[in-house]
Amino acid sequence: MVKSMTGFGRGEHIGKVKQIIVEIKAVNHRYGEVQIKIPRQYSSLEEPIKKYILNNISRGRIEAFIKVEETGNKARKLMVDKDLALAYYKVLREVATITETSFDIGVAQLVQFPEVLELEESEEEMKFIWEDMLPALHEAMLVLVEMREKEGQELRNDLIERVDLLQRFHGKIKEKSVRVVEIYREKLAGRLKEILEEGKIDQDRLTMEVAIFAERCNIDEELVRLDSHFIQFTQSLDKDTAVGRKLDFLVQEMNREVNTIGAKANDLEITNCVVEMKSELEKIREQVQNIE
């Protein structure tokens, strides 16, 4: 199933020791990248959170916001970040000196600065917090993946329509390419008759010139490869694995073949089809950038 790389999910769980709120936002990215914003005292949980997310998502830039709140009256042990408290103190004293104002700050004010005081969590408590976090993380991921799948289905439908249009242009080009050489032969013979006396046309020379033209403008191989790319592209849209990179590669190959056809084909109608195909391929390329 095709999945979009964009989406949002939220999960909440009230556990034995903590109330956990998880919000996950996903946007387009070439690779799988996870950023986690969680209170510093729970930073040891970042790796298991990242691993859990990447088990469900292979591509996209993911931002996870984790909020942790107390649920009970369990006694907690406060931890003082001495280095941070001292740094705040020195900076405030320096500001007072620079501004020539009185330096008057109490302990009660100092401990209100961010992360000076933190709740100390033991390794055993972290285990319980992780157990409380998992249901919220699971719920957020379910909502996110569901949104990505829904948007992915819309992308799939749009891409199928665009590939169908490309195949119709492909059919027109294939049909017209069969007649291009014969039309050239007729035009060349007509011009030679205008220049030379009646009956003086060298049929061998005419045949050689037509053969050279036919070789130069032959696009059979490009049409075959292009048709193969269409089939692979459509089949990939129904696979259960992440296909975004493969689709991007196939679009590049389609564009390469179409450009070659445009360079070889000596026909206005084929050239017009090539222009339309390149326009559609650009739209497809933009859509593929959204697929996981």
Render pLDDT for 149-170 as a digit per residue (tens, 0 to 9). 999 999 999 999 999 999 999 9
Q: Are residues 31 and 132 in the same domain?
A: yes
Residue type, 68: V
Helix, coil or strand: residue 71: coil
Pick from 177, 182, 171, 163: which is nearest to 233 by CA?
163
- The verdict on residue 165 lying in a domain is yes
Question: Is the pLDDT confidence value at 214 over 70?
Answer: no
Render pLDDT for 84-143 as a digit per residue (tens, 0 to 9). 788 888 888 888 888 888 877 777 777 777 777 666 555 667 888 899 999 999 999 999
Positive or negative, the Cα torsion across 151, 157, 162, 166? Answer: positive
- The verdict on residue 117 lying in a domain is no
Question: Is the pLDDT confidence value at 56 over 60?
Answer: yes
Q: Are residues 145 and 164 in the same domain?
A: no
- The verdict on residue 2 lying in a domain is no
Q: Are residues 62 and 99 in the same domain?
A: no
User: Regarding predicted confidence, which is higher, 72 or 47?
Assistant: 47
Q: Are residues 63 and 89 in the same domain?
A: no
Helix, coil or strand: residue 63: strand
Q: Are 130 and 15 in contact (CB under 8 A)?
A: no
Q: Are residues 171 and 227 in the same domain?
A: yes
- The verdict on residue 116 lying in a domain is no
Above pLDDT 70, what percent of the chain? Answer: 81
Strands 32-37 and 18-27: unpaired
- The verdict on residue 52 lying in a domain is yes
Q: Are residues 14 and 144 in the same domain?
A: yes
Q: Which residues contact 181 (CB under 8 A, 6 or more apart)?
A: 210, 213, 214, 217
Its pTM stands at: 0.71
Pick from 210, 252, 248, 247: which is nearest to 232 by CA?
247
- What was the pLDDT predicted at 146? 95
Q: Are residues 158 and 251 in the same domain?
A: yes
Q: What is the CATH number of the domain that holds 19?
A: 3.30.230
What total number of domains does the chain contain? Answer: 3
Q: Are residues 58 and 92 in the same domain?
A: no
- The verdict on residue 29 lying in a domain is yes
Pick from 172, 183, 180: which is nearest to 258 by CA?
172
Q: Which residue has the tokens 């408290």?
A: 85
Q: Are residues 64 and 92 in the same domain?
A: no
Question: Is the pLDDT confidence value at 270 over 80?
Answer: yes
Render pLDDT for 19-39 as a digit per residue (tens, 0 to 9). 999 999 999 998 889 999 998
pLDDT band at 289 (very low <50, low <70, confident <90, very high): very high
Residue-number span of the structural domain to which 87 is assigned: 82-110
- What was the pLDDT predicted at 268? 83
- The verdict on residue 62 lying in a domain is yes
Q: Are residues 11 and 145 in the same domain?
A: yes
- The verdict on residue 256 lying in a domain is yes
Q: Are residues 188 and 256 in the same domain?
A: yes
Above pLDDT 90, what percent of the chain? Answer: 50
Structure tokens given for 48: 């298991």
Q: Are residues 49 and 104 in the same domain?
A: no
Question: Is the pLDDT confidence value at 254 over 80?
Answer: yes
Q: Are 242 and 5 in contact (CB under 8 A)?
A: no
Q: DSSP characters for the chain?
A: ---BS-EEEEEEEE-SSEEEEEEEEEE--SSEEEEEE--GGGGGGHHHHHHHHHTT-SSEEEEEEEEEEE-S----EEEE-HHHHHHHHHHHHHHHHHHT------HHHHTTSTTSEEEE--HHHHHHHHHHHHHHHHHHHHHHHHHHHHHHHHHHHHHHHHHHHHHHHHHHHHHHHHHHHHHHHHHHHHHHHHHSPTT---HHHHHHHHHHHHHHT--HHHHHHHHHHHHHHHHHTT-SS--HHHHHHHHHHHHHHHHHHHHH---HHHHHHHHHHHHHHHHHHHHHTTB-
User: Regarding predicted confidence, which is higher, 112 or 200?
Assistant: 112
